Amino acid sequence: MKAKRILTVAHPPPKPLMIFDGDCNFCKHWIVRWRKLTGDAVDYLPAQDPQIAGRFPEIPREHFQQSVQFIETSGDVFSGAEAVCRSLAKNPKWQWPLRFYQRSRFFAAVTECAYHFVARHRSFFSWLSGTHD
């Protein structure tokens, strides 16, 4: 299955970069977990960081509100479940989700649907997981 790149930035980061909603405790909780899995292979920045808009003007602000954005060193930008799979794949032990995502339309569709359902109901899932304030 071919990757669905949403866009490309003119000035890619020197290391893969995951941009997330820094105002969301649920999101921050997951970033802590993903950071443990990816180590130094991926940088993480909140979308609210002042440098984000200036560094990546090609990414519309609403994209940051809808889902995580993962920027590869090539400049290719991915979002949602695919962004998560691509970031985790930077750890050799966690390449399997990306392989499934790329090879199975069903897996890709289910993970995107699940990702966007959770993203639209973050308050509930934050409460459910105990990550709320």
Lowest-pLDDT range of 34-43, 103-112, 124-133: 124-133
pLDDT at 89: 98
Q: What is the CA radius of gyration of the chain?
A: 14
- pLDDT (average), residues 5-32: 91
Please give the share of the chain, as a percent, with pLDDT higher than 70: 90
Contact indicator for 90, 44 with CB cutoff of 8 Å: no
Q: What does the pLDDT look like over 42-98, one tens digit per residue?
A: 999 999 999 998 999 999 989 998 899 999 999 999 999 999 999 999 999 999 999
pLDDT at 120: 87
Closest to 44 measured CA to CA, from 21, 10, 60: 21
Using CA atoms, how far residue 57 sits from 6, 78, 105, in Å, is 14, 15, 31
- Distance, in Å, from the CA atom of 28 to the CA atom of 121, rounded to the nearest integer, reads 15
132 pLDDT exceeds 70? no
- pLDDT (average), residues 103-125: 90
Q: How many other CB atoms are there within 10 angstroms of residue 127's CB atom?
A: 12
pTM equals: 0.89
